[in-house]
């Protein structure tokens, strides 16, 4: 469901689970929230169980759409790691338990674009191995910050690139959400909240407490 933290309000996809602008979320006391974040969140916006159910469906869509080609699953760190791991677990389960399977390898790249709740407009590539291994491969990208990353990937002439996102909207989509700054499920605010299982809306108290 990959990958930048923060506002996610781009056009939706027919595959996505659309959450309306008037969605109020769920009270925090209905869920297990780490005590150190008790005053830093407004609502639980997407519970972890719903994320996992949608991720399983996305894995099926990917298996159906990619054919039998060797693919590379490229994780955009850090915000994409939870979605990446869960999506691959479902794909691996389908590989084991169905007649159709996909040969797959994984790779990682790290990008940074946010400070506090605003995009800096400067996308920094901070890590990553030799991406020449992607040449001629089909790529499932489970990250965000797509404009810069797709431009980078094109230099290596991949055969095909499919973008799978949890909360932003290209070919394979988890959820369409309104324009709110959300954290959790590895999405951060200045590196905090990655340890939160649910997708939550950060409070003004939280923004000030963890402001860079």
Peptide bond into 78 cis (omega under 30): yes
- In the numeric block, which tokens belong to residue 181? 């700054």
8 Å CB contact between 198 and 44: yes
Residues 6+ apart with CB under 8 A from 49: none
* Alpha-carbon gap, residue 63 to 59, rounded angstroms: 6
Angle at 54 between CA 86 and CA 64, to 5 degrees: 85
- In the numeric block, which tokens belong to residue 75? 């994780």
Q: Is 138 a catalytic site residue? A: no
Work out the burial of residue 171: count CB atoms within 10 Å of its CB; fewer than 13 is exposed, 13-18 middle, 19 or more buried.
Answer: middle
Question: Other CB atoms closer than 10 Å to residue 166's CB: what's the count?
Answer: 32
Taking the chain, what is the end-to-end CA distance rounded to the nearest angstrom? 27
Choosing from 29, 141, 179, 195, the catalytic residue is 141
Question: Among all residues, which ones are annotated catalytic?
Answer: 141
């Amino acid at each position: 469901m990959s990958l930048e933290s923060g506002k996610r309000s781009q056009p939706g996809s027919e595959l996505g689970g659309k959450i309306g602008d008037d969605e109020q979320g769920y009270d925090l006391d209905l869920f297990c929230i780490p005590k150190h974040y008790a005053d830093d969140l407004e609502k639980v916006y997407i519970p972890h169980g719903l994320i996992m159910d949608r991720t399983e469906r996305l894995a099926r869509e990917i298996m159906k759409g990619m054919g039998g080609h060797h693919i590379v699953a490229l994780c955009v760190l850090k915000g994409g790691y939870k979605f990446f791991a869960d999506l691959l677990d479902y794909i691996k389960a389908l590989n084991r338990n169905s007649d159709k399977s996909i040969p797959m390898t994984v790779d990682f790249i790290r990008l940074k674009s946010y400070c506090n709740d605003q995009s800096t407009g400067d996308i920094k590539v901070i890590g990553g191995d030799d991406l020449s291994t992607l040449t001629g491969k089909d790529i499932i990208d489970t990250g965000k910050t797509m404009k810069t990353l797709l431009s980078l990937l094109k230099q290596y002439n991949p055969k095909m690139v499919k973008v799978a996102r949890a909360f932003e909207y290209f070919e394979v989509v988890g959820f369409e959400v309104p324009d709110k700054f959300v954290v959790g499920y590895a999405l951060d605010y200045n590196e905090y909240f990655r340890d939160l299982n649910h997708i939550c809306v950060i409070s003004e108290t939280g923004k000030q407490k963890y402001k860079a």
